[in-house]
Amino acid sequence: MQVMVDAGDGDVARAVAARAPGHAEAAEAELYRRFAPRVRLYGLRHLRDEDEARDLSQQVMLVVIEKLRAGAIRDADQIASFVLGVSRTMTKDWKRLNWRREKLRETFLPASMAGVATLDAHLDLDHLEACLGRLADRERMVVLLTFYAEKTAREAGRELRLTEGNVRVIRHRAVERLRTCMTSR
């Protein structure tokens, strides 16, 4: 397993494709460990729903592993691009894939592909609330409009009578302040 952890993405993909007895399972688990969180982030960014993003990551990884097993991926070194391509296609077709989603849910998922914890599972929300309270009013409004109300800089700016550029600057500063606050207790 340690060998897989130290290997490059292409090497891991090749190990999955080779289906070598005793190694394939570890390779698949490693591939999943590396790419499922990235697919989930992609899903969260585009679907804005944690459950759907989690489903997407599982389905994308199932397809990727199936393709590798079937030898359908010619250049294993391009595995990251391939995973992104599958993520894009599946996200685009998400609604049309509803039937398939249900079907795939019923298929076998190895324990190593079990659900991923929610994004904020390790955050101390009480501390975050205190940190949020220490932000300037504009900063607090901008981060809440960005992360909760899911407004772009232009939309938030229209609401707060700020330019798009101003919102970006305030947002960047606010996030830095929150991160600093969260790490200093």
Per-residue x/- track, 94-133, other proteins (CB under 8 A): ------------------------xxx-xx-x--xx--xx
Could you tell me if 17 and 77 are in contact, meaning their C-beta atoms sit under 8 angstroms apart?
Answer: no
Interatomic CA distance for residues 106 and 129, integer angstroms: 39
Position among 3, 8, 49, 71 found at the interface with other proteins (CB under 8 A): 8
CB 57, min distance to other proteins, A: 12
Binds other proteins (CB under 8 A): choice among 62, 84, 104, 109: 84
CA 163 to chain CA mean position, Å:
30
Q: How many CB atoms lie within 10 A of CB 144?
A: 15
Other C-beta atoms lying within 10 Å of the C-beta of residue 182: 14
Binding mask 43-62 for other proteins (x = CB under 8 A): -xx----x------------
Distance CA 11, CA 28 (A): 11
Instruction: Identify the residue among 42, 55, 65, 68 touching other proteins (CB under 8 A).
Output: 42
Secondary structure of residue 44 in the 3-state scheme: helix
CA-CA distance, 7 to 1, in Å (whole number)? 10
**Alpha-carbon torsion 53, 57, 62, 63, what sign?**
positive
**Which one of the spans 16-24, 61-69, 81-89, 96-104 is the region binding other proteins (CB under 8 A)?**
81-89
Q: Which is nearer to other proteins, 52 or 106 (CB)?
A: 52
State which of residues 47, 80, 104, 109 lies at the interface with other proteins (CB under 8 A).
80
Q: Which residue number, 24 or 144, has a Cβ lying nearer to other proteins?
A: 144
Please state, in angstroms and as integers, the Cα–Cα distance from residue 165 to each residue in 47, 151, 159, 168, 185, following that order. 25, 14, 14, 5, 32
The residues that touch other proteins, with contacts defined as CB under 8 A, are 5-9, 34-35, 37-38, 41-42, 44-45, 50, 80-81, 83-84, 87-88, 118-120, 122-123, 125, 128-129, 132-133, 136-138, 140-141, 143-155, 159-162, 164, 168, 171-172, 175-176, 178-179, 182
